[in-house]
Chain A
Amino acid sequence: MGRTNDHNEALFALGLLAEFGTIEGRTRFQKIVYLAQRERNVPQVFRFIPYYYGPYSKSLTNLISFFKTIGFLEERRVKLGLDVFRYDYSLTERGMSFYERILRTLGEQATTVRSTIKRVASELRDVPTTVLVSRAKKLALGKP
């Protein structure tokens, strides 16, 4: 995205939510960010650990939790079955206005940031979570 200061993490996470609308599930969120960093021209702002079920970033989890606390994103609990839940994420109005505010401070770079995130969203939006998981897992383990 071309921006090198320490707000990249917030910019990237909020930008993805702005473009995706809703990201269904914590797992999906993690894998989208991982694949965007590995396969697309996105700075490696989140550090991932290659767990056996696929890469996981504690700093992304912490940032999501912080934004939820501050009220920038909404976490919706969706019941999938008996005692089984999924957590979906979307930006709140305040989150969107904050994201726009960060973009305004970027000046001309904002266009590049937007288009990079848009591209990630359009490429990954319709990919099922199981496919994202297996792609991320293969990449993390260095398998073709």
Chain B
Amino acid sequence: MIDPIHGSISLPQWLIRIKDEPPIRRTINIKQLGLKAWVDFPGAIHTRYLHSLGTMHLAAKLTDLLIKKEERRSYRRSGLLENLRNNKNSLMAASFFHDIGHGPFSHVLDYVLEKEFHTTHEKITCEIVKQFKDDLVRESIPVDHVNNIIRGEHDYPYLADIVNGPLDVDKVDYILRDSYHVGLKYSFDLDHFLDQITILGEGDELGTFELGLEKDLSAIACATVFLLLWTTMYDIVYCIQNSRIAEKMLEKAILIAIQTNKNLKEQIRNLKKYQSLDEWSLMRELQQTKGFPEEIVSRIRRNDLYHMIYDEEISGAKEEGEISFGGLQVKPTHRFYDELQKRPDEVAEELSRKLNEGREQEYDVICDIVERRVPEQVHLAEKNEQTGEPFLLSERSDVVYALEQERIHLKLYVHPERVKDGRRRKNKILGTIKELLEAW
């Protein structure tokens, strides 16, 4: 298979056998960046399928590198080499399947799945992997190992870290692939970067080992560049404003549609039917759902989006209140803080619902909470004598420390035909949000 990012990718036997099965072919009809290709980045028509192949290719490459490193060590760690060799196929399978449960338009369906179907795309992924049990077991790949790696809950954390960790091959692939397809000429030396990754651990307790970075300035510099690119991609691609608005519009259209469109609801609820739900079939179902869903699809197609009428950082109070926005000092309940930390999408939806109570249309105003993604902590193979622990990358890199500063924004989007009314009512809306937060 030829890939624009990694060149030639060789497929393992198990994948050659199953690659044309419907759940896998479906990912060819799911664009990696979803609506961003419709709104802001017309070049971003690459698919989840290609990302899966790229991630699998990198998992194999990194595992081989880690095996070579362990072979070269003067004192090998008991059982580690065998463990890596034995699990290479499981790692490749986990990285190939890791996103197979994604819905159409990638993350758009995430909140709908959680709120209305009490599931996640990760859980659906694990269910789909189980369907390929016989094909995987034939190659001595245990399905529960694959799913534990995908969930980041494997008995050997360093294995899960390769696919689902602070510097995993998933991130490496999507940073390179997405930047290439949106047209940003970002790059970094992939081979040099992978060579800086190592397994941290001493003794024979493999269950306590983790993936970290080598002990040298080159590793710090490489990881810093990588995390800087990763954060930048969130700022200028993954959270780009108009695409974000279109994604929220589509999410609300789906939430409304499943109240009346039984066919669509069943297509999401039923695992078998879900596996044939792609971008085209979702848009077709929404277009056939009279009212708000039909209107929203038509607007997205015309790029006639909601307008943003308000955007303010709510993290870090400016004056006396705990949270400040629109000049208001707000003292939210602790239940609100708890929800904001754990379920920001739920908070935004609850606010949207209450702001539109009694209005003609369900979502005249959409409230959105956008959090800046920050890097997870990574350890270096360099011991801090004062604590007896390895250093964290952020203890050795000023740039990574700066990237750790989280920000939370509150945004309001208003229906394109009610922009004037929305701007006029803005202060009233913010007052209502203050009341809601203080009574949460």
Q: Assuming the A-B contacts A51-B157, A62-B341, A129-B386, are A70 and B208 also in contact, with contact meaning beta carbons closer than 8 angstroms in the complex? A: no
- Nearest chain A CB to B341's CB is how many angstroms away? 5
Shortest A66–chain B CB gap in Å is: 5
Provide the residues of chain B in CB contact with A52, threshold 8 Å. 200-203, 205, 208-210
Tell yes or no: B357 within 8 A of A by CB.
Answer: no
Main secondary structure of the interface of A (DSSP, over half): helix
Interface residues of A toward B: which range? 35 or more
> Given A52-B210, A66-B406, A70-B322, A133–B334 Cβ distance below 8 Å?
no
User: Is B304 an interface residue, CB under 8 A from the partner?
Assistant: no
Chain B residues, CB < 8 A from A50 = 207-208
B408 interfacial by beta-carbon distance below 8 Å: yes
Per-residue contact bits, chain A 36-61, to B (CB 8 Å; 1 contact, 0 not): 00000000000001111110001001
In which size bucket is the chain B interface?
Answer: 35 or more
Closest to A27 in B: B387
> Restricting to B387-440, which residues have a CB under 8 Å from any CB of A?
387-392, 394-396, 401, 404-408
- Residues on A with C-beta less than 8 A from B203 are 52
Are B341 and A61 closer than 8 Å at their CB atoms? no
Interface members, chain B 322-352 (any A CB < 8 Å): 322-323, 334-335, 337-338, 340-341
- B157 neighbours in A (Cβ, 8 Å): 49, 51
Report B-chain residues with C-beta under 8 Å of the C-beta of A1.
Answer: none
Q: Mark A12-51, 1 if CB is under 8 A from B, else 0.
A: 0000000000000111100000000000000000000111
Whether A6 lies near B338 (C-beta < 8 A) is yes
Which residues of chain A are within 8 angstroms of B322 by Cβ–Cβ distance? 70-71, 94, 97-98
The listed residue with most A CB atoms (<10 A of its CB), out of B207, B334, B374, B376, is: B334
Residues of B within 8 A of A (CB): 157, 200-203, 205, 207-210, 315-317, 322-323, 334-335, 337-338, 340-341, 374, 376-377, 379, 384, 386-392, 394-396, 401, 404-408
Using a CB–CB distance below 8 Å, which chain A residues touch chain B?
6-7, 10, 25-28, 49-54, 58, 61-63, 65-66, 68-71, 77, 80, 83-87, 94, 97-98, 101-102, 105, 129-130, 133-134, 140-141
